[in-house]
Copies of this chain bind each other. A is one copy, B any other.
């Protein structure tokens, strides 16, 4: 029998999960839940109902894992604990600083409902976190580096759009090649925020806006841009649409460490991602962990889990025997 997947929230991430479910032969999409008027929501999969989010509870016995595709700022802190009482759930909660609190809330709900909840699934947090953990466990005497990009940062793009006179904008985060090279060469550099990433903005101005003032306002924006070397390009709406409508991202996790009786040997572990579509990749990770959640629930487990707590074999369609034969 297939794993029956529900999608709650149908934006870029929800649509990505829908595509991922199609790629996984042991899964089927049961229903999509939306806060919008279901009549107005057109999904890709034929014959699958779009339902009002308020009706989700009626699907308790018809969905094996509900994948929560809301945002981390306001949706998931409420939704994940709420739905973990009724469903096995997976979310992509990515506000790093608030993970301990989110974990505690979700753990309590999931245990009370006898369900499995997997939080903070994606690539960072997610695959990058896993690689930090493995590399730290293997090389206790070492130094970690994470670089993000080249990719579109949604938060920074939004910040630019809030500047007066900006009609639309996209912001790219770009790792500094020299910094990445220094890490790869085992130089163990101390890197400031400015050393690691640059920021590049493509901005469409409102009619009559003052370009110089907009540029200055962006470059000096605290937290978002003032600690970085930022470049601002003014382009037309057509150029933005033509050249910057994708949502690529990626990055690098490196650990450089020493072994030997006197630390005489150096080692470099590097993990990197180059993604055409940030939400579709995140969705693909969510789908794999939905399989894990389903299996853990079948075993009678309950409570909150993160990628750290889940044995890799749970993610794969293959049996342990097949995995040992083909991938070990």
CB pair B259–A323 under 8 Å, yes or no, is no
Most buried by B among A22, A23, A308, A328: A328
Could you tell me the dominant secondary structure of chain A's interface residues? helix
**A44 located at the interface, meaning its Cβ lies under 8 Å from any Cβ of chain B in the complex:** yes
A101-137 contacts to B, CB under 8 A, are 103, 120, 125, 127, 129-134, 136-137
Binary CB contact string for chain A from 242 to 273 against chain B (1 if under 8 A, 0 otherwise): 00000000000000000111000111111111
Number of copies of this chain in the oligomer? 2
Of all chain B residues, which has the CB nearest A134?
A: B312
Known: A138-B284, A138-B288, A277-B265. A129 touches B328 (CB 8 A): yes
CB pair B325–A100 under 8 Å, yes or no, is yes
Q: How large is the interface on A (under 10, 10 to 19, 20 to 34, 35 or more residues)?
A: 35 or more
**Contact pick for A323, options B18, B285, B308, CB 8 Å:** B308
**A99 located at the interface, meaning its Cβ lies under 8 Å from any Cβ of chain B in the complex:** yes
Binary CB contact string for chain A from 7 to 47 against chain B (1 if under 8 A, 0 otherwise): 00000000010111011110000000000000000001000
**A311 located at the interface, meaning its Cβ lies under 8 Å from any Cβ of chain B in the complex:** yes
How far apart are the CA atoms of A285 and B135 in the complex, in Å? 9
CB pair A120–B328 under 8 Å, yes or no, is yes
Of all chain B residues, which has the CB nearest A144?
A: B327
Most buried by B among A96, A99, A310, A324: A324
When distances are taken between beta carbons in the complex, the residues of chain B under 8 Å from A210 are none
**A280 located at the interface, meaning its Cβ lies under 8 Å from any Cβ of chain B in the complex:** yes
5 A-B pairs with C-beta separation under 8 A: A99-B325, A131-B271, A138-B281, A259-B280, A309-B313
Using A24-B140, A260-B280, A271-B272 as known contacts, list a sample of 9 further A-B pairs with CB atoms less than 8 Å apart, ordered by residue number in A: A100-B324, A103-B324, A133-B312, A259-B280, A266-B276, A267-B274, A269-B271, A306-B324, A308-B327
Would you list the 8 A-B pairs with minimal beta carbon distance, nearest first? Answer: A137-B315, A265-B276, A259-B280, A265-B277, A308-B313, A137-B288, A268-B274, A129-B328
| Chain A positions near chain B (C-beta within 8 angstroms) | 16, 18-20, 22-25, 44, 96, 99-100, 103, 120, 125, 127, 129-134, 136-141, 184, 259-261, 265-277, 280-281, 283-285, 288, 291, 306-313, 315-317, 320-321, 323-325, 327-328
